Amino acid sequence: MKKAFVLAISCLLFLTNCEQPKKEVIKTYTEEPHSYAQPNDAVISHLSLDIEVNFDTRVINGTATYNIETNGAAQIILDAKYLNISEVKADGKVTDFTLGAMDESLGQPLTIAIKENTKNIAITYQTTAKTEALQWLNAQQTADKTNPFLFTQGQAILTRTWIPIQDSPQIRITYDATVKVPSNLMAVMSAENPKEKTADGIYHFKMVQPIPAYLMALAVGDIEYKAISNRTGVYAEKSMIEKVHTEFSDMEKMVLAAENLYGAYDWEQFDVIVLPPSFPFGGMENPRLTFATPTVIAGDKSLTSLVAHELAHSWSGNLVTNSTWDDFWLNEGFTVYFETRIMEALYGKERANMLALIGRQDLDDELEYLKDKPNDTKLKLDLKGRNPDDGMNSIAYDKGYLFLRTLEEKVGRDKMDAFLKAYFKENAFSTTNTEDFIKYLNANLLDNNNITFNTLEWIYEPGVPANASVIKSDAFSNVERVLQNFMDTNKIDAAATSQWTPQEWGHFIRNFSKDISVTQLQQLDDTFNFTNSTNSYISMVWYEQSILNAYHGNDVDIKISEFLNTVGRRWYVTTLFSAFKKADRVDEALVIYKTARQNYHSVTANTIDTLLGYSE
């Protein structure tokens, strides 16, 4: 958008150059290790998707029609993976296409013959049983247990498995879609959405803001909508809708707090759909409609920082997008920083510092886990030849956050906020890479204020630099005192814990000393009933400690098995299976995994397959 604007101005200034416009692609794209597309030769600009969702055969079929821009190239290359392509047309006429060799991670290049002046291409295709983005759920796997459900997960490079597309974060498209689903179900997308079911099961969508392919998203199920404000609201199954609406009732306040920090919300509507529990992530920032796990519905708004996180992506990620997956920290580090600022604005510094300290502990765990792979602890990654999923860990999120927090402390909050606000505004609806960000940072925050900062060490060196911000939380210090006292005396000060938040309980449980005894665990469980907690975060950290410390009281093993057979959130599932592995209990883990795996989305199953050395 920005570059097109510059071109228009230069036409006005140099009219002679514009009288005979040369056919050229406006933007210059950098080398992309995770897409076959050659956008400098021919690039897609708009998608019209016309598909039918068939639950009986578990297939999506239809036609993807693209407007394209070329520099006169004889072919355009798209990404595809495990799709059956039956026909391709260029400007309405059947044209030649080839599917290249299959790469297990990248899929296949789909090369389509075009002419110098081809305006659009239309690809008729259908998905297959191997389509990784889609998770088809039977009724039993949903909340209401009466109808099937389907959702997609595109990030990082899975959109190509359900739509043939140029699947690079550098390439932005607008789209419209017609989607036919069974008439008792509703379809929603990362677009303008329906608020009620249609009689015929046909839904029309429009996305007028240009987005990268990984933000294409579709969910189909027996869902309802309930508004929170005139631009925020929630979708969920009938049995969940009231709970979800109450849990997320601060959404409008969150949008206001975010706008107050970094400028206007550019996507008009901000809704959240709560999916069945197999959804592999906490949330996915699909524009206009965040996809979320039901594990954050705790009944007390204690886990809603997830909504702040996905909302923050409306700026960092969706508005200003990482150029390649090597720059993923630009999406996530900024988003964690922004999320923490939203939480501070709404609920105060202490809550924000607790979240930041949890992140710091996650980061230290990740650094320990990656101690033999120091290159993977740099913010700027080199994922060529690897799956970008390898970079989706605490380094991008929590080291990225710590960099920005440390920078904020160095320059002061006022300067930091003005800098970030301008950064989002000037780079809106475009992509940026690490090197461009460093240039922008030097020019607009550091050099002009005569501030020196070890930016390059933070970004290009492994580990955490010595000047990292030291995060303190009085609440967590208090938790540590209570825990130490218990370890020393076997007495628990129950009164001191009566007002604890789930974050404080999580901190308590995660910091058990390595030599905590089974008797002590039993005593804590009998006092606080951790095994039967209804808060998914407390459950997860308690089950982790139970596995690590061979605690088997109060039927916790049954609970762990039930949890792993229901929840597919990758963070939770990975934590628990990793604990089994650390405790040399892989055999027990495999028994659970054999039944649980069918409930997991491919991104979770792939991670656990590798972790446990499992193959079907």
Shortest distance in whole angstroms from residue 203 CB to Zn ion: 27
Residues 6+ apart with CB under 8 A from 482: 492, 493, 496, 497, 508
Query: Is 397 designated active site?
Result: yes
Amino acid making up residue 557: D
Rounded CA-CA distance 509/521 in Å is 10
Give the range of 232-240, 330-338, 485-493, 594-602 binding Zn ion by CB under 5 A: 330-338
Query: Is 310 designated active site?
Result: yes
Shortest distance in whole angstroms from residue 310 CB to Zn ion: 7
Q: Kindly tell me which of 224 and 332 has the beta carbon lying closer to Zn ion.
A: 332
Q: Kindly tell me which of 43 and 312 has the beta carbon lying closer to Zn ion.
A: 312
| DSSP H or E run through 181 | none
Residues 6+ apart with CB under 8 A from 461: 378
Give the range of 193-201, 289-297, 328-336, 531-539 binding Zn ion by CB under 5 A: 328-336
One residue of 159, 335, 546, 549 binding Zn ion per CB under 5 A: 335
Shortest distance in whole angstroms from residue 324 CB to Zn ion: 17
- Residues 408-427 within binding reach of Zn ion (CB under 5 A): none
Give the range of 326-334, 414-422, 584-592, 602-610 binding Zn ion by CB under 5 A: 326-334
Give the range of 190-198, 329-337, 547-555, 607-615 binding Zn ion by CB under 5 A: 329-337
Q: Kindly tell me which of 156 and 219 has the beta carbon lying closer to Zn ion.
A: 156
- Residues 375-394 within binding reach of Zn ion (CB under 5 A): none
Shortest distance in whole angstroms from residue 291 CB to Zn ion: 12
To which residue do tokens 């000037």 refer? 426
Q: Count of CB atoms within 10 A of residue 494's CB?
A: 10
Q: Kindly tell me which of 326 and 332 has the beta carbon lying closer to Zn ion.
A: 332
CB distance 432 to 316 below 8 Å: no
The token pair at 519 is 């008797």
Give the range of 12-20, 207-215, 332-340, 559-567 binding Zn ion by CB under 5 A: 332-340
Q: Does 539 help bind Zn ion (rule: CB under 5 A)?
A: no
One character per residue 141-160, x = contact with Zn ion (rule: CB under 5 A): --------------------
Q: Within a 13 Å sphere around the CA of 29, how many CA atoms are in the beta-carbon half? A: 24
Shortest distance in whole angstroms from residue 105 CB to Zn ion: 21
Amino acid making up residue 341: R
- Residues 216-275 within binding reach of Zn ion (CB under 5 A): none
Shortest distance in whole angstroms from residue 396 CB to Zn ion: 9
Angle at 126 between CA 196 and CA 178, to 5 degrees: 30
Chain centroid, CA 609 distance in Å = 21
Angle at 460 between CA 401 and CA 393, to 5 degrees: 45
Q: Kindly tell me which of 127 and 316 has the beta carbon lying closer to Zn ion.
A: 316
Shortest distance in whole angstroms from residue 253 CB to Zn ion: 20
Give the range of 228-236, 327-335, 430-438, 503-511 binding Zn ion by CB under 5 A: 327-335
The token pair at 321 is 């997008």
**HEC sequence for 554-584:** HHHHHHHHHHHHHCCCHHHHHHHHHHHHHCC
Number of residues that bind Zn ion (CB under 5 A): 2
Q: Kindly tell me which of 203 and 338 has the beta carbon lying closer to Zn ion.
A: 338
Give the range of 333-341, 342-350, 544-552, 579-587 binding Zn ion by CB under 5 A: 333-341
The token pair at 143 is 């909340």
Question: Please, which contacts does 454-460 make with residues 24 or more away whose CB atoms are closer than 8 Å?
Answer: 455/407, 458/379, 458/403, 458/406, 459/378, 459/379, 459/380, 459/403, 459/434, 460/378, 460/379, 460/380
The token pair at 517 is 């005894």
Q: Kindly tell me which of 281 and 486 has the beta carbon lying closer to Zn ion.
A: 281
- Residues 17-56 within binding reach of Zn ion (CB under 5 A): none
Q: Kindly tell me which of 247 and 332 has the beta carbon lying closer to Zn ion.
A: 332
CB distance 296 to 246 below 8 Å: no
Shortest distance in whole angstroms from residue 335 CB to Zn ion: 5
Q: Kindly tell me which of 313 and 597 has the beta carbon lying closer to Zn ion.
A: 313
Give the range of 73-81, 331-339, 496-504, 608-616 binding Zn ion by CB under 5 A: 331-339
One character per residue 485-504, x = contact with Zn ion (rule: CB under 5 A): --------------------
Which residue among the candidates 224, 310, 504, 544 is catalytic per the annotation?
A: 310
The token pair at 501 is 């938040």
Shortest distance in whole angstroms from residue 307 CB to Zn ion: 12
Rounded CA-CA distance 576/564 in Å is 8
Shortest distance in whole angstroms from residue 154 CB to Zn ion: 14
Rounded CA-CA distance 479/43 in Å is 55
Q: Kindly tell me which of 315 and 593 has the beta carbon lying closer to Zn ion.
A: 315
Residue 148 Cα distances to 197, 221, 325, 537, angstroms: 16, 6, 33, 27
Rounded CA-CA distance 240/420 in Å is 37
Residues 6+ apart with CB under 8 A from 556: 525, 531, 542, 543, 546
CB distance 83 to 63 below 8 Å: no
| DSSP H or E run through 79 | strand 75-80
Shortest distance in whole angstroms from residue 607 CB to Zn ion: 17
Q: Kindly tell me which of 334 and 563 has the beta carbon lying closer to Zn ion.
A: 334
The token pair at 190 is 């990362």
Q: Count of CB atoms within 10 A of residue 574's CB?
A: 14
Select the residue whose beta carbon is closest to Zn ion and give its number: 335
Which residue among the candidates 36, 397, 401, 593 is catalytic per the annotation?
A: 397
Binding site for Zn ion (CB under 5 A): 332, 335
**Residues annotated as catalytic (active site), given as ranges:** 310, 397
